[in-house]
Structure 1
Amino acid sequence: MINFNGNMVAQDENILTQNRAFLYGDGVFETLKIVNNKILFLEDHYFRLMASMRVVRMEIPMNFTMEYFEEEVLKVIRENQFSAAARARITVFRNDGGLYLPKTNDVSFLIHATTLESALYSLNKAYYEVDLYKDFFVTKQLLSSIKTTNKLINVTGSIFAHENGLDNCILLNDTKNVVEALQGNLFMVVGKKLSTPPVSEGCLNGVMRKQILALAKKVEGIEVVEEIISPFDLQKADELFLTNVITGIQPISKYRKKEFTSNLAHLLVQKLNESISEN
């Protein structure tokens, strides 16, 4: 018997008592956008998931091909009758058994989905204010670049943002340089230069980050670089925006006393939608 919320229940009635993702954060995940029964950037998501599983030494099932991955996700979309656009998450976790040392490296997965209002990406024009989150720092290591089920920095940072009337917070690494935002990678425009922190600084190797870097390199007159960004650099920027697969591009209106434009963000959203419609 176990105590669950003050009630004594049989241990086998609660699936969390042995689940390693719940007990130890022993899981990795991908968040996907599906439009008209098509997973956007499928190949990038698939290979990042495979790389994440290898990093944490999970055994990759022989049948876990990209086609299998795609079909299992779309099965959930069809079953829920999400016709236009949906958000799905696939979580892969090591199977039950062991303490810190697992008894097996075999895995199971869980996929769930919710509907989205819009298939196309659009620029959110609402006022969007951010500040630094300095209670905890991201470490500059390979684990920081993948999506694991240990997201306590993002959770506590989101609470901090809510308590302080902010729309988001910017995370710093252990050398006090800018890494990313709570829900996406960060880009900065200064003059004709677009920059974003390199993955080696501890930021997520984002799928949308990759798309925006590729699209921006095709914009005439724009220099695109991956370089270290300090908190002081942010106040010199002309433009700041965030990227993730669900939102696309989110312009930042204000950081501390500095307010920003969103000219390049507008252009890149247009190019992002064009690239999706072409594929």
Structure 2
Amino acid sequence: MVNFNGNISEEITILSVENRGLKYGDSLFETLRVVANKILFWEDHYFRLMESMRILRMEIPMNFTMEFLEEEILNTLKANKLTNARVRCTIFRGNGGLYLPDSNEIEYIITANELNSPFYLLSDASCEVDLYKDFYINKGLLSTLKTNNKIINVLGSVYAKENDLDNCLLVNEDKSVVEALNGNIFLVKGNVIKTPPITDGCLKGILRKQLLEILEKIPDYELKEESISPFEIQKADEFFITNVIQGIVPITKYRKKQFETSVARDLLAKLNLKIRLG
């Protein structure tokens, strides 16, 4: 069951060939984790979405409040008979125009799929990565938004499959490592934990924000938002990926370097505790 502008039905052929998200990538999305009918980190997701819509000059309807959109998401879950779900909320400008839109009014689609587990679990599976250098992430503001323009992530995923990798690392024009194909990255060396700054072009990730808040309260770790070079990765003790669906995903191998997972396990336990208490 799909929610299209508040109308929930099984019909999936609801988009016009004039859809601007399809024609021009004139679209944003949020991927949400819902557990027991509670949207995790909902306030952060909502305000990131509103900020992104303003940056793209989309017109935000007066009724598009946090309460309204939350109700639309939960109605979609109810229609799909789900309480734990991965939800995608896609916002796009209405039909009309060429590069210049006829209007800045928006439409939306909400879809939901069942989650395998209501809790964040640390996978014991191997995760081998390497650099994807065919194309670069630009350091500008648009790279920090969750737009539908994800062709680099698509091509990087194809490259990973062709080379028997589990993921790839994306770099910017300065050759700094920015993020993984599906999330932000954190590097651990001793008691120092580094993650690329937003100014490097990495996604303004919701789980990245949660971990930064957790790390700021732990005196045992020194948190740094600094650029990460490929050379640093081979000297690191740990290296992991974060996103709201999987939580923390340890990278186990980069080229000949093998990584530990103890800090990732510690942080995941603190993340789950924060969710339970929050």
Q: Aligned partners of 1:114 and 1:231: how far apart in 2?
A: 36
Provide the rounded CA distance (Å) in 2 between the counterparts of 1:217 and 1:50.
26
- CA shift, 1:217, in A, is 2.1
Q: For 1:20 and 1:51, locate their aligned partners in 2 and report how far apart those are by CA, in whole Å.
A: 20
Compute the TM-score of the two structures, normalised by the length of structure 2: 0.94
Separation (CA, whole Å) in 1 of partners of 2:159 and 2:180: 13
What per-residue deviation string (whole Å, max 9, x for no partner) do you get for residues 63-86 of structure 1? 000001110111111111112x20
Residues 1:175 and 2:180 aligned together: no
How many angstroms does 1:118 deviate by? 0.4
Tell me the CA shift for residue 36 of structure 1: 0.3
Letter of the aligned partner of 1:77 in structure 2?
Answer: L
Matched, 1:47 2:47: yes
Which residue of structure 2 lines up, in the alignment, with residue 139 of structure 1? 138
Match of 1:121 in 2: 120
Correspondence 1:53-68 to 2 at 5 A: 53-68=53-68
SS in 2 for 1:87: strand
Matched residue, 2:101: 102
Aligned to 1:5: none
Letter in 2 for 1:149: N
Partner of 1:275: 274
- Tell me the secondary structure at the aligned position of residue 72 of structure 1: helix
CA distance in 1, matches of 2:215, 2:255: 27
Counterpart secondary structure, 2:271: helix
1:21 maps to 2:5: no
How large is the Cα RMSD of the aligned pairs? 1.0
Whole-angstrom distance in 2 between the partners of 1:33 and 1:251: 19
Distance 2:66 2:208 in 1: 21
- Corresponding residue for residue 203 of structure 1: 202
Corresponding position: 1:77 with 2:59? no
* Equivalence map 1:232-247=2 (5 Å): 232-247=231-246
The aligned residue for residue 188 of structure 1 is: 187
Distance 1:245 1:220 in 2: 25
After the TM superposition, which segments of 4 or more aligned residues of structure 1 sit over 6 Å from their partners? Answer: none
Q: 1:216 deviation in Å?
A: 1.7
> Can you give the 5+ residue segments of structure 2 that lack an aligned partner in the other structure?
1-12
Amino acid at match of 2:215: A
CA-CA distance at 1:16 after TM superposition: 3.5
* 2:227 corresponding residue in structure 1: 228
Cα distance in 1 for residues equivalent to 2:247 and 2:260: 17
Distance in 2 separating the partners of 1:210 and 1:190 = 20
Q: d(CA) in 1 for partners of 2:151 and 2:97?
A: 23
Q: Can you list the C-alpha shifts for 1:238-267, whole angstroms capped at 9, x where unaligned?
A: 000000000000000000110000111000
Deviation at 1:14, TM superposition (A): 7.8
What is the rounded CA distance, in whole Å, between the counterparts of 1:149 and 1:127 in structure 2?
A: 29
CA distance in 2, matches of 1:76, 1:90: 11
Q: Which amino acid aligns with 1:180?
A: E
Structure 1: runs of 5 or more not aligned = 1-12
Q: Deviations over 1:180-213 (max 9, x none)?
A: 0000000000110001000000000000000011
- The size of the alignment, in residue pairs, is 266
Provide the secondary structure at the position in 2 that maps to 1:15. Answer: coil
Q: Distance in 2 between matches of 1:258 and 1:16?
A: 48
Which residue of the partner structure matches residue 9 of structure 1? Answer: none
Deviation at 1:117, TM superposition (A): 1.0
d(CA) in 2 for partners of 1:64 and 1:15?
A: 21
Residue deviations 1:155-175 (CA, integer Å, cap 9, x gap)? 000010011110000000011
| Deviation per residue, 1:40-91 (Å, 9 max, x gap) | 00000000000110111100010000001110111111111112x2000000
Match of 1:32 in 2: 32
Shift of 1:130: 0.3
TM-score, normalised to structure 1's length?
0.94
Residues in 1 aligned to 2:215 and 2:33: alpha-carbon distance in whole angstroms: 21
Q: Distance in 1 between matches of 2:220 and 2:49?
A: 34
